[in-house]
Amino acid sequence: MELDLSGYDIKISDDMNTWEEVNLLYNAALKQIQTKIEILNDEFQEVHRYNPIEHVKYRVKGPESIVKKLKRNGYESTIINMVKYVNDIAGIRIICSFTSDIYQIADMLRKQSDIKVLSTKDYIETPKQSGYKSYHMLVSVPIYLSDSVVETKVEIQIRTIAMDFWASLEHKMNYKFESDAPEEIKKELFECAVMVEQLDDRMLIINDKIQRSKKEEAIWKID
């Protein structure tokens, strides 16, 4: 992906990487983790006959929103500051069916020896005030270049389909009203967040029942 930063007032000194080099690293990190996720999903399918992952989205943050975020946090727009302070330049969103899948996927990723978990935020255990729920992991993966190895950060968000549905509508609201969303809509969304939680819980219970009856059926067949 080629990006022209000439319009964005980003200062690049001689000893720093260029945006093209940085961008290459983040894309490489996304590819690495993409492969890992695919392998885990294939293995899970093979062993448990079940796909924990519904779908996965990948994105590299655009220069405009990187600069905006740096400004918001009071940093100058330099490549060094980008790499140091913007943790979600490379972002992955893993969408699962059930809440239990989320923790299983997080654990499987955590166990990989080349993935370093820099921080986690469990907004399922402790949802945000808005009602937002999701499991966040900030990780780094080593990227092997011709003459060096660079640890590159990736933000991974793991959530259920229902949590994702909620988050995208809430995001739309925030985008539309900026920080000035009507209380009424916020309240309604919060109520929906409670419903999302109830739905996720019930779907998990139903799935367990289905799995259990499948097993019993298998036992009867053996007998």
- By the criterion CB under 5 A, which residues form the site for Mg ion? 88
106 CB neighbour count, 10 Å cutoff: 19
- Measured from the CB atom, is 5 or 70 closer to ligand GTP? 70
- Measured from the CB atom, is 88 or 101 closer to Mg ion? 88
CB 123 within 8 A of CB 134: yes
- Closest separation between CB of residue 4 and ligand GTP, Å? 24
- Closest separation between CB of residue 220 and ligand GTP, Å? 46
- Measured from the CB atom, is 172 or 212 closer to ligand GTP? 172
Query: Considering CB distances under 5 to 8 angstroms, the limit depending on partner class, which of Mg ion, ligand GTP, none binds residue 71?
Result: none
d(CA 172, CA 105) in angstroms, rounded, equals: 27
Task: Return the residues of window 82-101 that contact ligand GTP according to CB under 6 A.
Answer: 88
CB 127 within 8 A of CB 157: no
Task: Determine whether 155 is an active site residue.
Answer: yes
Is residue 172 at the binding interface for ligand GTP, with CB under 6 A as the rule?
A: no
Is residue 31 at the binding interface for ligand GTP, with CB under 6 A as the rule?
A: no
Listed residue (17, 10, 134, 21) closest to 65, CA to CA: 10
Closest residue by beta carbon to Mg ion: 88
Q: Count of alpha carbons within 13 Å of 209, Cβ hemisphere only?
A: 6
**Taking CA 34 as the corner, what is the angle to CA 29 and CA 37, rounded to the nearest 5 degrees?**
130
From the list 2, 20, 155, 170, the catalytic residue is 155
Is residue 135 at the binding interface for ligand GTP, with CB under 6 A as the rule?
A: no
Helix (H) or strand (E) holding 109: helix 99-110
Name the site residues for ligand GTP (rule: CB under 6 A). Answer: 88, 121, 128, 130, 132, 136, 167, 170-171
